[in-house]
A and B are shown apart, each in its own frame.
Chain A
Amino acid sequence: MILKNMKLTVVFMFFLFGTMNAFALDEGGATAKQVVEKFQADLIEVMKDGKKLGYAGRYEKLKESVSNSHELTKIARIVVGKEWEKLSEEQQQKLVDVFSQLSIASYAHNFKDYSGESFVFDSEEETTRGGVVVHSHLVIPDDKPVKFDYMLKENGNSWRIINIIANGVSDLALKRSEYTTILQREGFDVLITKINEKINNYSKQ
């Protein structure tokens, strides 16, 4: 009996190390699922320490996590659609910069406290063009769960998040409509001003 228990323990230990190793591989060769789960784990951690860290602390912690898991440059590019081609190189760089700041700031602002939420992995599927969709949901105590679907693309040897679809609302499509509308109606400078205003507002609370 004792032997059997020991065997189980050993198996369990191997299993544990196995998963830990998988996480350690993060920088190179992490699978789509691992990238998403690592990011979600970081989010939950930041939420748990939310109060203590304050906005600046959350921003600092999430900066690395978001940039490592999201393909921010590509997202910024898709979000402005064909207007991208019309921007000068400087403007493109500026856009990517403020867009990245905004993405991190909105995470830092919105994920600030913790009341028992957790992410659960549901399934993984490949899309027709070599992307992967990771289906998961956020469990919220006393509330309906929220479906989170992550679209990932392979970049070099790691996977990066390129779109998040929450309860059927695609973040990328939403932002793209907004950004292209503003670019066409009001121009590049107004867009940048508006983004900076948002970042500023996020940092105040």
Chain B
Amino acid sequence: MNRLHKGNRSVKMQYTFSGFLIVIALTLGGCATTGDVEQQTVVSKTDPYESFNRKIFGFNDSVDNYVAEPISNAYKWITPQFMQTGVFNFFNNLKNVNVVINDVLQAKFSQSAEDTGRFAINSTIGLGGLVDVAKHVGLEQNEEDFEQTLAVWGVPQGSYLVLPILGPSTARGIPGAVFDTAANPVSYIGMPVQLLSMLNARASAEGALKFINEAALDPYVFTRESFLQWRNHLATDGKAEASFDIDGLEDESLEGDNGAAFSQDSSGDANASDKPGFALRLDEKTKEIEQVSYSFSSVAQSFDATAKSFEQAGNKLDELKKLRRRR
């Protein structure tokens, strides 16, 4: 994750980048004009607000094209590679405070010790985080955040949302992001540093955005699917069996006529099916404003569930501890 853009060595490895950067990047979306096709024929279970989301996606895309990308390109042009890497490492290192907190909340105690060590090494020998020394000692950067913790605690994912400027998220991602922001030291440093942090995020997203641009037939759907699948992969620490959904896919298309089951997307289902009521399915006549208000209520539900799970955090941790010990 250290080298920011090394060209396209692999189709797939860039998916990782896309997911990773989407979370932190300023504007995501990436590419190609979203041809406004008004009628919404595809109602996806995880994306009931598609037509609204598409508009925000289009907006983010223009912001990216006209503001973020030019600034980021200028940054990359005037800044030598070693400094860019240093900046990336610096912010990445600060993120570890958050990672450690979430390790603990998910009862991953040995990992939290490693990540603490990682943070300590890089903050000292690594010159305040500018050099990623820990990597060479064999301590890899782990990806943990509150959204994942909430997932582990059983808060349902909720519907897919594209936020203005911030990009792809889910109903669960919003309370998650609130806590992540609160737990990240960068949030308290002040403007110039935060600006640099945003520049860094956009610059690191370059490869992912380029890849989406090249590979996506429908950039909106491409971003949504890879985002949801990637988040699911992270939340389950790679244990989610995405591999099994192919059997389902195959059945549907080869035997093919259970239309109802078909319109739903495979990704994120593991979470979406946790509890009904979060991924609200809208009937076609519903007006947009109502969709938005639904989306707010679904976010409100996520906050609710978050609050509840915090109340029960003690119990959750005990349960998780037992679970991990059994493994």
A residues contacting B by CB (< 8 A) are 47, 77-78, 80-82, 84-85, 106-107, 109-113, 115, 117, 127-129, 131, 133, 138, 140, 142-144, 146-149, 151, 162-174, 176-182, 184-186, 191, 194-195, 198, 201-202
A82, B257: Cβ atoms under 8 Å? yes
Per-residue CB proximity of B210-221 to A under 8 Å, as 1/0?
000011111001
Determine which of B3, B217, B224, B242 lies in contact with A168 in the assembled complex, contact meaning CB atoms within 8 Å.
B242
Give A185 Cβ to nearest chain B Cβ, in Å. Answer: 5
Say yes or no for B8: interface residue by CB 8 A criterion: yes
Q: Which residue of chain A is the closest to B140 with respect to CB atoms?
A: A144
A47 to B13, CA, bound (A): 15
Say yes or no for B78: interface residue by CB 8 A criterion: no
B residues contacting A by CB (< 8 A) are 1-3, 6-13, 15-16, 19, 35, 37, 39, 41-42, 44, 140-141, 214-218, 221-222, 224-226, 229-230, 232-234, 238, 240, 242-247, 249-250, 252-254, 256-257, 259, 262, 265-267
The residues of B that contact A174 with a CB separation of less than 8 Å are 222, 225-226, 229, 267
B253, A81: Cβ atoms under 8 Å? yes
| Cβ contacts A to B, 16 pairs, < 8 Å | A112-B8, A115-B6, A115-B9, A131-B246, A140-B13, A143-B3, A144-B140, A147-B238, A166-B16, A167-B230, A170-B267, A172-B246, A173-B229, A173-B242, A178-B216, A201-B214
Specify which of B2, B44, B265 lies most central, judged by the most chain A CB atoms within 10 Å of its CB.
B265
A169, B266: Cβ atoms under 8 Å? no
The residues of B that contact A85 with a CB separation of less than 8 Å are 256-257
Determine which of B10, B15, B257, B265 lies in contact with A169 in the assembled complex, contact meaning CB atoms within 8 Å.
B15
A168 to B214, CA, bound (A): 21
B225, A144: Cβ atoms under 8 Å? no
The answer to whether A146 and B12 touch (CB under 8 A), given A173-B265, A177-B265, is yes
The residues of B that contact A194 with a CB separation of less than 8 Å are 217
B256, A186: Cβ atoms under 8 Å? no
A131 to B244, CA, bound (A): 10
B238, A168: Cβ atoms under 8 Å? yes
Give A167 Cβ to nearest chain B Cβ, in Å. Answer: 5
Give B199 Cβ to nearest chain A Cβ, in Å. Answer: 22
B10, A138: Cβ atoms under 8 Å? yes
Q: Which residue of chain A is the closest to B251 with respect to CB atoms?
A: A129
B246, A110: Cβ atoms under 8 Å? no
Give B145 Cβ to nearest chain A Cβ, in Å. Answer: 16
Determine which of B41, B221, B229, B246 lies in contact with A151 in the assembled complex, contact meaning CB atoms within 8 Å.
B246
The answer to whether A178 and B214 touch (CB under 8 A), given A82-B253, A127-B244, is no
